Each structure stands twice: as structure tokens, then as C-alpha cells.
Structure 1
Amino acid sequence: MSTDDVAIRRSRVAVAAVFALHGAVTGSFATRVPWVQEHTGISAGQLGLALCFPALGAAAAMPLAGRITHRFGARPALRALMVLWCLALLLPAFAPSGLALGPALFVFGATAGTADVAMNALGVEIESRLGRPIMSGLHGMWSVGTLTGSAAGTVAAHTDLDARAHFAVAAVVLAAGALVACHRVLDLRSTPDEEPPPHFAFPPKAALVIGAVGFCAVFAEGASLDWSAVYLRDVMESSPGLAAACTTGFALTMAVARLLGDRVVERFGPVRSVRVSGVVGVLGGVLVVTAGNAAQAMAGFGLLGIGMALVVPLAFGAAARRGPAPAQAIAGVATITYSSSLIAPAAIGAIADASSLTVSFTVVTVLATGLVVGAGVLRTDSGSGGKAVASGTPAATENLSGK
């Protein structure tokens, strides 16, 4: 094995750690939202409005990620963006009021989004050099990180630990981990004659089409994460414990499916994998809306988790290979998917108010069919099923030594 091969494999491990650390920040924050609400003294409606700001911040800042990477290089950019994202965890905890919480969450989301684009762009580069799929596994590590951060946050909440102390410790530990992990990622540098990407630009047309497929998947994911427990409680009349277990089960099925997904994609290709995933998701949605008992509904949500797991990683990879600016293409897809995660919870609630939660998840089921219909846009070659992992990316110089 050559020195370059060793460096690329080490970089894969390092980027996987970065994904896990990114997810751990998300999981840490999610478990302490009730503390933040109580600390700022805001109502449920005001909290819902405030929680829109992370997605808005991410959507606004994501187009800058390509420019930052071009200016400073992939490794220094990712290192700085990850440290900022970890430290931004402090902002919502120290917001003194509901009025200050919105801007704090906007910055929180902006740092999350730029780090997200940078780490996905590096993941796609490593995948291309290895010549086999790794993006699903990387996103699986993000899910593992989210579950780990959530578990730590649950313990902190159970012991009534002040979130300011919890977030301070988590921010320092995770930022230190990010510094260590980023030391081994590929040190890609732009060539002297390479044009810098624009500060802001509309996503390429291909990214918009791919993003539409990602929109369907993230809508179903967001709806299930935010509303599955409510569905079990209100529609199935389940106990609070069983309702919470349904959400945990959904998250676990997504994590496991992503960790195993690279083997599936390598064997069947992205198009066939997403098409079958769509069928599984539709079946899960049908089980949910026709459920006569909690077990059937939980099985349906589990299938929805499996069905949605592979789509976003494959969408990012497909977008990055469709043009000369991978970071810009990923930012375009990510902006659309973040928008979906912003829209889904409110849309499900609005439909439920106008009709019922069963009708809301009928809409989710219909959107899941978009994966079956639109899977072809994820094709990476001219062959059937799109099994190849395209190699090569825009010209760049690099230092593979990790030093």
C-alpha cells in the first residue's frame, strides 16, 4: 500500500470522526431545548419560531463554504468551521431572552451549515479517490454522533445540570476532538489559476433537481422525527414511554441503515438503491396510516427510517460530481434539504389541524414516492443503475502527509 493510499484511508477515518462530532453537537442541543425554553421564558409558539432560525442561518451561510475552502484550503477551513460550530453550542444557552435567542440560533445554524458543506465536500473527494461508496457510512457516523450527544444530554438533563455548564463542557471537549480529527483530513488547496467561487450564487440546475429528491426524503425524515411520538400518543393512544421509544427506534433504524448502506450502494448502485429505498419508505408510510395498533405504526416508522436513510448522502455525492464546483453544488442541495427540514414540522402540524395526523402522514407517503420516480437523477454514469463511483474532481494541489 502506497503512502498516498495510507493517507487517504486515514483521512476517511478522520472525516468520519468529524461527522460524528458534528452530530454530537446537534444531539447535545436537542436534548436541552426544554431548558432553553424555560431559561428564556418563552411560550411554545415563540420557541417554534425561534427553532426556525438555525435552518435560516444554515441556508444563508452555506453558499459561503466554497469560498472559505478556496481561500484557506480544505483542512484549515474545516478545522476552523468545526471549532466555531462546537463553540456556537454556547450561544443558545447564554441567550438572556427570547428576543436574543433567535439571533443566537441563526449564528448556531450558520456555523452548522458551513461546516456541513465543508465536511461533505471532503467526504465526496475521499469517496472518489477510494473508488467506492463511503458517504452513507459517513452520514451513519453523524447519526451515531447525534445519538451519543443526545444520550449525554439526557443524563445532564436527568441530573438537573445547568445547560450552560453542560454546553460549556461539551463545546470544549467536542472542539478539542475536532482539532485532533481535522489534523488528518486531506489538505486540498486550490491551484493558482483556479477561479474563486462567487460569494453567493444560485445552485446549478442539476443540484436543484437532485435537491428535489433530497427534499422528499428530508421532509419524511423531519416529519417522522418530530411527530412520530405524537402520532403514537394521539392516534394510537399509546403511553408516553412507548411513544418516545418510537422516535428512538426511527433514529436507530436510520443510523443502522446508513452504516450498512455503502455495501448496498456498492452492490446495486445509487439509482437502484434509492428506488428500492423509496418503495420501502412508501410501504412504511402505508403501515403508519393504516395502523390499527402501536406495533404496526412503530414498524411503519422503522421502515420509513430505513427508506430515507441513504438518500441525502447519495444526493450530496451526485451533486458534487455534476459540475466543476463540488462545494457549491453540495451547498445547493443542502440548502434545499435544510429548507425541507424547516417546512416539514410546521406543514405536518398545519395539515393535522385542518384534518388529522393520519392525513398528514398520507402526504408523507405520497412524497416518499418521489424517491421511486426521481431516483434516476442520482445516476453517476451512463450504465444501468449508476453503479460507478466517479473519480476525479476539480484540479487542486494537496498535502497528504497530515502534517
Structure 2
Amino acid sequence: MDTLRRARGGTSVIFAVHGAVTGTFAARVPWIADHVGTGAGGLGVALLMPGVGALLAMPLSGRLAHRYDLRSLTRVLILFWCAALVLPSLPTSLVVLCLVLIAYGATAGIADVAMNAQAVIIEERYGRSVMSSFHGFWSVGGLAGSAVAALAARAGLDARIHFLVTAAALAVVALAASARLLPHRPEPEIDAPPAFALPSRAVLPIGLVALCAVFAEGAGLDWSAVYVRDVVGDAASTAALTVSVFSVSMALARFAGDRVIHRLGPVATVRLAGAAASAGALIVVLGERTVPVILGFGLMGAGIAVVVPLVFATAGRIGEHPGRSLAGVAGIAYGSGLVAPGIIGGIAHLTSLTVSFVMVTALTVAMGLAARVLRPAPVRAVPQE
């Protein structure tokens, strides 16, 4: 049991490191845009590239997970992910930035699949839900990375130096944490999955639940501040606070999520989460004052927070190749995150931002109604020596 607890702690740190890289990059995007010399249009194109890279790389993850020991694979990929943080700070042209962001996103995607596969193994050995807490550590890492980046930006620190120092520090942390991970290789009699495989029919319904959750998450993170500023008409500082409320509520809900899942089960939890997220989104749509709208975004964040961890946990128990199933779900989720900002913006341009969040409300309702696809096979606890 001590080995399992150590593995859980090490995996939690790996998730936090992954989130910290993401948060660090996101907070320095304005510096990168200025360094490249591009406006909003060019930046919008560039920010699509990490999702494209992830979508291209993720179908390869199942083959990698089958071929290599998962502990070693996770260690190598999280170190590559830390190193990839340096890449976006280097280009001075939009074309080169787009190319390096494809590589950046590809590294993010395959590292994401590997660490979630490690989390699935740990959850199986615990015999109860622990996946939500891992994703909670990812959220904490993202918040910490963005906070440090905000301080670096305020101090006028060159992002090339900031990213290099941060990448080195996070790599050291990840290397130490990876020593605690569990070794794992698939059974030798199981054939290797295809080198490039799309989501299977069994995974697709689960992936669609992930699509709804990640789309709503992307809408909240990317558009909540704009909504408070443009629709409610409050100050930019208050609008920025909305993003923090949304993010913190997601992190807190993820840390509480495992207890809720243990008590209610995955299906009832997602139904409750869908109801909470839908109520929050509806408050946003109907609200006319700042405080209710911000609280609505917070409730929406808390509602969708536990869904993605549950989706990964369920996918990791499907079929002979959990890595392939995880990659399929992750690909759908990343794809949803990729298109969400553009779809929200397109609908807002044609109608209004309020109408965009009516669609978000419909997706959170669908997420709750589809909860039964997450009904798991019994989880078997593995005795520890």
C-alpha cells in the first residue's frame, strides 16, 4: 500500500506539472503575439495549432503505451512536454510560430494520454475513484503556472528566459516524481493496436460526453470575462475575476469529486454534475447583474469539473488496449476544446453572446442526460504485497 500511495503522489505531481506548463504558456500569449508581431487574426490561427498537433499525435498514443513500459513512457513524455514550453517563445514569424505550436500540442497530447493511463492503473488498484483528484492537481498546476507567469509579465521579464527557467524547474520536479510511478506493460498475448487508430465504436459515446464537458469548459475559460464585460457591462477587472472564479470552482470540485463519485457512483454523479452545470449556464443566460452571472459561471465550472476525469477513468477500462481508448476519448475532448472558442465567437457574431451560452446550456443538459454511458464494469482491487 505504501508503494501505491507513493505512486498516487507521484502521479498527482505529474498532473500538476502538465497543468503548470499549460498555464504558463497561456498567461504569456500576449508577449508571444507582440514578439511575433501579429494581431488578433494571426494569433487566433496560431492558437488553433496546439489542438491540431494534439489531434494528430493522440492516435499514436495507444501504440506507444503498448510498446513501452508506462512508467518510462510517462517520464520521457512529461520531460518532453516541459522542454516544449520553450518553443513558443522563440519564433519571430507567424508561420514558424504555427509550426512550433503544432509540435507543442502534439507533445501535450501524448503526455496527457500517458499520465491518464498511469492514473487509470492506480485507480484500478485502489478499487475506488481517485481520478478526479488527479485532474484537481492539474487545475492547481495551471493556476500556479499562470500566477507565476502573471508576476513575470508584470516584472517585464522576457518570456524566453521565463520559459527556460520554468521548463528546467518543472523538469526536475517531474523527473523526481516519475520515480514513484508504477511500472506497467500490457499482457504479452495481447496484440498491439494499430499505429494510427481512430476512436472505436465503444469509446465514441463516452467521447461525446467529454465533448459536451470540454466545450462548456472552453466557453467558460475563454468567454466568461468577455461576457461579463460586454453583456453585463461591468469593468474589465471584474470580468477578469470571473475567469478566476470559474477556474477555482473547477479545482475545488475536482478535489471533492472522488468522494461524491464513491457515494453516488459515476452515472448519478454525472447527472448531478449536468444539472449543476446547466443551472449555472442558465443563470448566466438569464442574469442581468454581475454577481449572479459570476456565481453562475462558478456553478457551471463546478458542474463540469468531475466529468472529464470520469470519462478518462471509464475509457481506460474499455477493451484490450486502454491506451487506445484513452487516446480516442482525449482526441474527441481536444477537438471539442479546439473548436469551442470559434463556434462561440461565430454564433455571437451572427446573433449574440447570450445565444452562444444558450447552446452551452443545451450541451450541459445533454451531458447529464447521456450519463448512463459511463456505467462502469466492476472495478477489481489488486492486492498489494
Q: Does 1:268 align with 2:264?
A: yes
Equivalent residue for 1:160?
A: 156
1:48-69 deviation per Cα after TM superposition (whole angstroms, max 9, x unaligned):
0110110111111112222222
Q: Provide, for residues 103-145 of structure 1, a one-character-per-residue CA deviation record: whole Å limited to 9, x for no partner.
A: 1000000000000000001101110110110110000000000
Distance 2:172 2:238 in 1: 37
Which deviates more from structure 2 when the two are superposed, residues 140-149 or residues 365-374? 365-374
Does structure 1 conserve the Cα–Cα contact (< 8 Å) formed by 2:60 and 2:197? no
Q: Counterpart of 1:385?
A: none
- Whichever residue aligns with residue 133 of structure 1, its letter is S
| 2:356 corresponding residue in structure 1 | 360
SS across alignment from 1:205: coil
- Which residue matches 2:199? 203
TM-aligned CA deviation for residue 350 of structure 1: 0.4
Is 1:391 matched with 2:380?
A: yes
Partner of 1:117: 113
Residues 1:373 and 2:366 aligned together = no
**Which stretch of the first structure deviates more once superposed, 293-302 or 185-194?**
185-194
Residue number in structure 2 paired with 1:396: none
- Alpha-carbon offset, residue 226 of structure 1: 0.3
8 A contact 2:127–2:381 mirrored in 1: no
How many residues align? The count is: 384
Query: Residue by residue, what CA displacement relative to the aligned partner does 1:347-401 show, whole Å, maximum 9, x if unpaired?
Result: 01000000111101011001111122100000014xxxxxx5x1279xxxxxx99
Pick one of 282, 301, 306 that aligns with 1:305.
301
The DSSP-based 3-state class of the residue aligned with 1:189 is coil
Assess if the C-alpha contact under 8 Å between 2:136 and 2:255 holds in 1: yes
Which aligned segments of 4 or more residues in structure 1 are displaced greater than 4 angstroms?
none
Q: Which residue of 1 aligns with 2:179?
A: 183
2:255 is the alignment partner of 1:259: yes
Which of the numbers 166, 172, 177 marks the counterpart of 1:170?
Answer: 166
For the Cα contact (< 8 Å) 2:49–2:102, is it kept in 1?
yes
1: distance between equivalents of 2:266 and 2:126?
16
CA distance in 2: counterparts of 1:81 and 1:391, whole angstroms: 28
Contact (CA 8 Å) 2:63, 2:194: kept in 1 or not? yes
1:254 is matched by which residue type in structure 2? Answer: M
Choose the corresponding residue for 1:136, options 132, 137, 146: 132
Residue 76 of structure 2 is aligned to residue 70 of structure 1: no
Unaligned runs of 5+ in 2: none
> What is the CA-CA distance between 1:253 and the residue it aligns to?
0.1
Q: Normalising to structure 1: TM-score of the pair?
A: 0.93
**Letter paired with 1:74:** L
- Aligned equivalents of 1:332, 1:169: Cα separation in 2: 34
Q: Which residue of 2 aligns with 1:228?
A: 224
Distance in 1 between residues matched to 2:39 and 2:238, nearest whole Å: 26
Structure 1 portions without partners, runs of 5+: 382-387, 394-399
> 8 Å contact 2:126–2:381 — kept in the other structure?
no
Q: CA deviation at 1:12?
A: 0.7
Cα distance in 2 between the residues matched to 1:113 and 1:91: 16
For the aligned residues, what is the CA RMSD? 1.3
Using structure 2 for the length normalisation, give the TM-score. 0.98
Amino acid at match of 1:68: L
1:25-44 equivalences under 5 Å are 25-44=21-40
* Equivalent residue for 1:325, pick from 318, 321, 326: 321
Q: Secondary structure at 1:51's aligned position in 2? A: helix
Deviations 1:270-303 (A, max 9, x none): 1000001100111111100111100111011011
**Structure 2 residue identity aligned to 1:295:** V
Distance 2:361 2:165 in 1: 41
Give the distance between the partners of 1:134 and 1:24, measured in 2 at CA: 21
Q: Distance in 1 between matches of 2:15 and 2:65?
A: 17
